[in-house]
Structure 1
């Protein structure tokens, strides 16, 4: 389900142009005032209706409009790529030509892939970045046929009033007021070969964009039920895979197969949940690193250090220091008393 705040953000594109929103809401099967979450299909229908009304598939959030049909051309541009990395680099070049600003760059370092968004005109709305991430991440997941778990999502601008919905939507640590907007995931995914062909693309486009909103969401399917079960207990008490399958009344082979079809493994999910807890505690909590390692079920702090560096490219201590580093103050905010004048 899609939160009402995201519907309102999409409708703002119409308001800026003086276009009546009610006919488009009716077309999407929504009430005149949306106060309850809507389905991905309804939101997808609204996205298409807005794009038709303003001839912009990016809701007017970029320097230039993204004319209708651009997303289809983007899909065709990446279909022949030999790897996800090649597909992503093509997609980012395509979007830079179309949107001009913002534009994305793929950076690979220390086992992590980062799509960094650049803004010539200063920070944009969180909704603009979210729309960009939906297209790029959703299309990437479809191309390789599996969900790409996110390690972190950074937003350059300030948090919106409904910032909690962003954290729920991405299912990964989300930070606002960052120097750059970026989407971070494991670089190993870049090596995977696309599995789609022209026939699959035609079917995909018939269901877009609703399918990229729901098909590879972190909160759908068997993996979501497994996450919910693990969240209900401390990480130090998480069972082994065989025991977990028995608790879920499934043969271990069946559970493993279902997770594989969703592009997940038990270890992936445990890592994802541990990373989310760890980053939040390092950002906002007061636990010592050794205590946090034990709380997360690691046998020794060094194992946690290795895992955290694999997740983020930094040690826990480095991550905490950088996250809590005070912003530099301007000359007028140095705290020194002003000089008196006669």
Structure 2
């Protein structure tokens, strides 16, 4: 089995953070079995152990990057706090309130508009480091992915701060377009996912906490899962050429009942994958190219423009024309080209 690894750039970020806060990293590295000089990828389990060691020494699970310490044990309490929620939206809003209490700043707000869910971070003081914002996203995004049992595909991520030396690795980490030096820090995904129900219980939480945070660093990576493999197949074809389910299963050399069961385990169906891709293609075509609606409906495999209009209003709550007019205000048109996003994103 392939060992799960953490890129060396994130170890560099961590060690630089410890230096800023006057923490001697040498004993902590030795404690978790890491060498004093990191030259390559680090096993996720060892990085998770280092995170725990730092939290104990600093009594801060946020590496000293918040306005006040996130005391050791706060992450476990966060998980307990969201366990009783009924939808992902409920869980996100509760998690953001919890993190506001324990960190003060940065603090986040969930904004839902134009079919997109935006988690916008605010700071009362100076702009923080990319490492601080990334750590916030790891905690919030990771625990909510665990709660619903699948990865939440990210549309794009903005950072107020300037790009760190390993800015490219940030793009690989998130599996989505990443922009630095932006007016605000935010993580954006499709609002449709806010309706997903939590699937975890107390027993699952005990197991999860025994392996956190290593599990949230790699378990929900953007390039993992059978649904991602299917998306890549579909992205290589025009929507009008997408195969039926039985044909897809045969091409993947997986029995149709097995494929259906494995997709269900990932919280997906073939129909939801196709609809998700159509929504992404439609929103970007309207925002970035101003494409003719009738032509777009045909390209996306709809039998007639009226069927596309009904589907688009269901996805976003707006007509295609209304969405196109408001796209520039939400920043969608600036978030990267269609080709780049469909290559990078696990929708």
| Fold shared by both chains (TM-score > 0.5) | yes
Residue in structure 2 matching 1:163, options 139, 164, 167: 167
Match of 1:146 in 2: 150
1:11 pairs, out of 15, 31, 53, with: 15
Tell me how far apart the structure 1 counterparts of residues 97 and 171 of structure 2 sit (CA, whole Å).
28
Q: How far is the alpha carbon of 1:226 from its aligned partner?
A: 3.3
1:63 aligns to 2:67 (yes or no)? yes
Deviation by residue 1:189-237 (Cα, 9 ceiling, x = unmatched): 3334333222222111111111112222222232343345456x35455
Mean Cα deviation higher: 207-216 or 220-229:
220-229
Distance 1:222 1:142 in 2: 17
* Cα distance change, pair 289–33 in 1 and its aligned pair in 2 (3 A): farther
Q: 1:194 to 1:288 in 2, by over 3 A?
A: closer
**What per-residue deviation string (whole Å, max 9, x for no partner) do you get for residues 137-173 of structure 1?**
1111222223322233222222322222222222233
Q: Secondary structure at the match of 1:41?
A: helix
Matched, 1:127 2:131: yes
Higher relative contact order (CA 8 A, sep 6+): 2
Q: CA deviation at 1:7?
A: 1.2
Q: Mark the CA change 1:318 to 1:109 in structure 2 (over 3 Å): closer, same or farther.
A: closer
In 2, Cα distance between equivalents of 1:274 and 1:130: 29
Q: State the distance in 2 between where 1:312 and 1:3 align.
A: 40
Match of 2:46 in 1: 42
Q: Indicate how the Cα distance of structure 1 residues 250 and 163 shifts in structure 2: closer, same or farther if over 3 A, else same.
A: same
Q: Which residue of 2 aligns with 1:2?
A: 6
TM-superposed CA distance for 1:290, in Å, is 5.9
Q: 1:90 to 1:254 in 2, by over 3 A?
A: same
Matched-pair contact (CA < 8 Å) for 2:160–2:182: yes
Contact 2:290 2:324 in 1 (8 A): no
Of structures 1 and 2, the larger Rg is shown by 1
Q: CA distance change for structure 1 residues 267 and 218 in 2, over 3 Å: closer, same or farther?
A: farther
Unaligned runs of at least 5 residues, structure 1: 326-342
Are the aligned partners of 2:110 and 2:117 in contact in 1 as well (CA < 8 Å)? yes
Deviation at 1:116, TM superposition (A): 1.4
Aligned to 2:300: 298
Equivalent of 1:175 in 179, 182, 204: 179
Partner-residue secondary structure (3-state), 1:156: coil
What CA deviation, in whole Å up to 9, does each residue of 1:82-105 have, x standing for no partner? 333332222111111111111011
Aligned to 2:117: 113
Pairs within 5 Å for 1:194-209 = 194-209=198-213
> Match for residue 259 of structure 2?
255
Q: CA deviation at 1:124?
A: 1.8
In the alignment, which of 181, 187, 212 is matched to residue 191 of structure 2?
187
Question: Residue 129 of structure 1: CA displacement?
Answer: 1.5
CA 304–153 in structure 1, closer or farther in 2 if over 3 Å, else same: farther
Judge conservation of contact 1:115–1:184 (CA < 8 Å) in 2.
yes
Whether 2:55 is the aligned partner of 1:51: answer: yes
TM-score, normalised relative to structure 1: 0.78
CA contact (8 A) 1:149 1:272 kept: no
Secondary structure at the aligned position of 1:185 is classed as strand
| Aligned counterparts of 1:157 and 1:243: Cα–Cα separation in 2 | 47
Counterparts of 2:229 and 2:262 in 1: how far apart (Å)?
Answer: 12
Number of equivalent positions: 321
Taking only aligned residues, the RMSD between alpha carbons, in angstroms, comes to 3.6
Check whether the contact 1:114–1:185 (CA below 8 A) recurs between aligned residues.
Answer: yes
Tell me if the contact between 2:120 and 2:187 (Cα under 8 Å) persists in the aligned partners.
yes
In structure 1, how many angstroms separate the alpha carbons of the residues matched to 2:313 and 2:79? 34
- Residue in structure 1 matched with residue 90 of structure 2 by the alignment: 86
Greater shift in the superposed pair: 308-317 or 170-179:
308-317
What secondary structure is seen at the aligned counterpart in 1 of 2:142?
A: helix
